[in-house]
Homo-oligomer: A and B are copies of this chain.
Amino acid sequence: MFKTVEWKNNAVVLIDQTVLPDKEVYKTYRDYKSVAEAIKKMVVRGAPAIGVTGAFGVALGALKIKTNDSKKFRKEFGVIARHIASARPTAVNLCWGVERMTKIADENCDSSVPELKKLLIEEARKIHAEDIEINKRMGKHGGALLKNNSTVLTHCNAGALATAGYGTALGVIRGAIEAGKKISVFADETRPFLQGARLTAWELKKDNIDVTLITDNMAGHIMKKGHIDAVVVGADRIASNGDTANKIGTYTVALLAKEHKIPFYVAAPLSTIDMRIQNGEQIPIEERDSKEVTHLKGKQIAPAGVKVKNPAFDVTPNKLITGIITEKGVVRRPFKAGLKALFKK
């Protein structure tokens, strides 16, 4: 099996998701700025995966700080943390990962610099290991919601490639299959970056999970024909009221699911839930390069100079969500109380 993100010989190793499924290439990063660049360019993507990669990036940056003076170290550490955290705006996991690292730096400000470096690397590795563990727990909780012989539609890639491993939405599907159920998957190709066609189809095929690829605009027709029993997607940020930012197109899938009376589930770890914001309106939506829309594999597919909008995410209002699957169980309406309770357990 592939490794999405790894700490290896004091470097960060990423599978290059921009060239999948053509090539399975692993890239090694030896400085924090190139890790931030890899996040920006979507060599690694998926909220939990960039949370883990961000933590590794901070560890890498810290490791390379040349001073042994604790105060100077802490100052440089702050620059690194802010740089990594600002690589992408929508997924809150990136901030969350960086904040966990910052907490270690703060709590151990009396330690020597070499000791602190060791602690930071340990913390990043812990975040990585925990992520897989969390996904498996989500898989158990969420898998129980899927019926035997059902067909699940998913959007984008919320799989092993979007996490440290196993996946959130695809983790739920894996959880159901591990519980002995027969599950088929429909994958939206997910323009413009084609995470569904390139990543979800690839990782499910690799896992021998039955997958059928469709273009995004086919989901409505397929639902109307009665082919879909449930929708499971991941999330980039969930507001305290349950409003969920996820890959562009998710909002439309949620509306379609509601119209066709199909349950719509969001699978995400607690690190994706941002209790500091009241609702989805407060989630920043990243606008990406127009070339993602006008070009494909370097080839132009639209007239030169055409105006383009390229919002990378949209917000699904809580009223369209049947349940939010977390590692601590499934939250249902009213989400505000349910999500709050999760953090008290």
Is A252 engaged at the interface, CB distance under 8 Å to the other chain? yes
Docked pose: A205 CA to B303 CA in angstroms: 8
Contact A220 B252 (CB under 8 A): yes
- The contact of A213 among B197, B218, B256, B293, by CB within 8 Å, is B293
Find the B residue at minimum CB distance from A218: B248
List the B side residues contacting A189 at CB < 8 Å. Answer: 191, 293, 301-302
Contact B218 A311 (CB under 8 A): yes
Question: Would A221 and B201 be within 8 Å (CB), given that A213-B302, A213-B308, A308-B214 are in contact?
Answer: no
Is A329 engaged at the interface, CB distance under 8 Å to the other chain? no
Shortest Cβ gap from A213 to chain B (Å): 5
Contact with B along A280-304 (1 / 0, CB 8 A): 0000000000000110110111110
Contact B297 A224 (CB under 8 A): no
By size class, the interface of chain A is 35 or more
List the B side residues contacting A205 at CB < 8 Å. Answer: 303, 305-306
Count this chain's copies in the assembly: 2
Contact with B along A201-228 (1 / 0, CB 8 A): 1100100001111111111111010000
Find the B residue at minimum CB distance from A203: B303
Find the B residue at minimum CB distance from A202: B303
Contact A216 B201 (CB under 8 A): no
Is A192 engaged at the interface, CB distance under 8 Å to the other chain? yes
Docked pose: A188 CA to B212 CA in angstroms: 23
Contact B251 A224 (CB under 8 A): yes
List the B side residues contacting A214 at CB < 8 Å. Answer: 293, 308-310
Docked pose: A267 CA to B56 CA in angstroms: 55
8 A Cβ contacts from A121-162 to B: none
List the B side residues contacting A305 at CB < 8 Å. Answer: 205
Shortest Cβ gap from A320 to chain B (Å): 10
Contact A248 B217 (CB under 8 A): yes
Contact A215 B192 (CB under 8 A): yes
List the B side residues contacting A186 at CB < 8 Å. Answer: 309
Contact A191 B216 (CB under 8 A): yes
Find the B residue at minimum CB distance from A260: B255
Docked pose: A190 CA to B300 CA in angstroms: 15
Contact B302 A201 (CB under 8 A): yes
Contact B307 A296 (CB under 8 A): no
Find the B residue at minimum CB distance from A253: B217
The 9 A-B pairs of least Cβ separation, nearest first, read: A217-B249, A220-B252, A221-B314, A191-B215, A216-B217, A197-B302, A21-B303, A212-B307, A202-B303
**Residues in chain A within 8 A of chain B (CB atoms):** 21-22, 186, 188-192, 194, 197-198, 201-202, 205, 210-222, 224, 248-249, 251-252, 255-256, 259, 293-294, 296-297, 299-303, 305-311, 314-315
